[in-house]
Amino acid sequence: MTETVPRGEKRVAILTGAGRGIGRGIATTLAERGYNLVVTSRTREDLETTRELVEGTGSEAVVVVADLKDPQTPSRLLRAALDSFGRLDGLVNNAAVNIFAPFWTQPEGNLDEIIATNLTAPFFLCQAAANHWVNKGLTGAIVNISSAEDTIAYPDQVPYASSKGGLLSMTKVLALEWGPLGIRVNAVSPGSVDTEMTPEIYRKQAPKLMPIGRLGTPEDIGACVYFLLSDDAGFVTGTALYADGGYMLQ
């Protein structure tokens, strides 16, 4: 059963990295299925395009241009949700960066940037959302966008893989701690998805290695996120949904 949300009582989610790629696919999918959104990234132009797509579905989107490394960002996003919609039902930590380079050529700055965006920012966003829900006696759901690299290895991506492995571990621990409080925490771990973040060589090779025979789409990931946020996943917490076209079966 998929719940229906009456008009005027739409659920509300915060979505990071919403300006393009997987984030935009998540935004449009959630909007089509009854969510109003607070969307954030560092680029207003990209976010305005996402907002227009969301509003084209009949839902609403509030744009917040922010740097996730700013310690004030979690409170800004929470306040935007409450001021604009009066509620927060879900959090989707999607924003991520990756810098491809052999391990011995990765400077310290790469590691710092990737960990700060991919792991530290979700940590504090989860904390802000959970504090709100607990203090108000509410329930909620969090979906962290991880990667197949939280489990399997690809070359030239040690900082990225490390951040995603940490994100998956954090997902599991938070699910354990917050389950009794009515807060579910899960991850979606995509394989190769057709976005500009995916190198061209992966675009060419990956479909040949996937039993499904194609790259994923941002909307494929959006559908997984919607399920994990929805009441249909009410008995699901602390798990990762691997949306990889079957790649990890080999």
Query: Would you please indicate which residues are annotated as catalytic (active-site) residues?
Result: 160
90: which 2 tokens?
A: 């879900």
Backbone angles phi, psi at 190, to 5 degrees: -75, 150
Count CB atoms within 10 A of the CB of residue 98.
20
Report the C-alpha gap between 41 and 2 in whole angstroms. 30
The DSSP call for residue 216 is: B
Distance in angstroms (rounded) separating the CA atoms of residues 198 and 191: 10
What DSSP line would sit under 25-46, residue for residue?
HHHHHHHHTTEEEEEEES-HHH
- Asked if residue 228 lies in contact with residue 241, where contact means CB atoms within 8 angstroms, the answer is yes
Residue the block writes with tokens 């990765």: 106
The tokens describing 40, both together, are 């954030």
Beta bridge partners of 41: 65
Contacts for 235 with CB less than 8 Å, ≥ 6 apart? none
Residue 142 near residue 89, CB atoms below 8 Å: no
